[in-house]
Amino acid sequence: MGSLYTELGAMKQKIKALLEENNRLSIENGQLRKVLKRETAIHAPQPKPEPVVVHEEEVRDEPDEAPVLTGDPIAVGQGYDNLARLYHEGFHICNLYYGHLRTEGDCLFCLSFLNKD
């Protein structure tokens, strides 16, 4: 009888842990869905501009210039802004818990990372 009681207590603890994890994952899933909706709205396909045609007579001999990067280069500070946005949306940005949902308020590791100069 005592072993059954002990086994029942262990099962209750396991169920409690699973329910807490399910609740945490549900909250995290909801927040990720909000972020996804916002990001897809921001990054909706936009019509591409028509290419500019340059005629030979418009081309001049100019001194060597630095190569022009193609694509969308990341602006300085944009990565920091993205991390700050993630933190304010409720996710860890520290190396210990990166990407996990913050459930207990502010994280000192994340805050120290944001406050680095």
pLDDT in the model for residue 9:
94
What stretches in the chain show pLDDT beneath 50?
58-59, 63-69, 71-74
pLDDT in the model for residue 66:
47
pLDDT in the model for residue 67:
47
Amino acid occupying residue 62: E
pLDDT in the model for residue 3:
92
H/E run at residue 62: none
pTM: 0.41
pLDDT in the model for residue 83:
85
pLDDT in the model for residue 5:
92
Burial class (CB in 10 A: 0-12, 13-18, 19+), 75: exposed
Can you read off the two tokens belonging to residue 4? 């059954």
pLDDT in the model for residue 10:
95
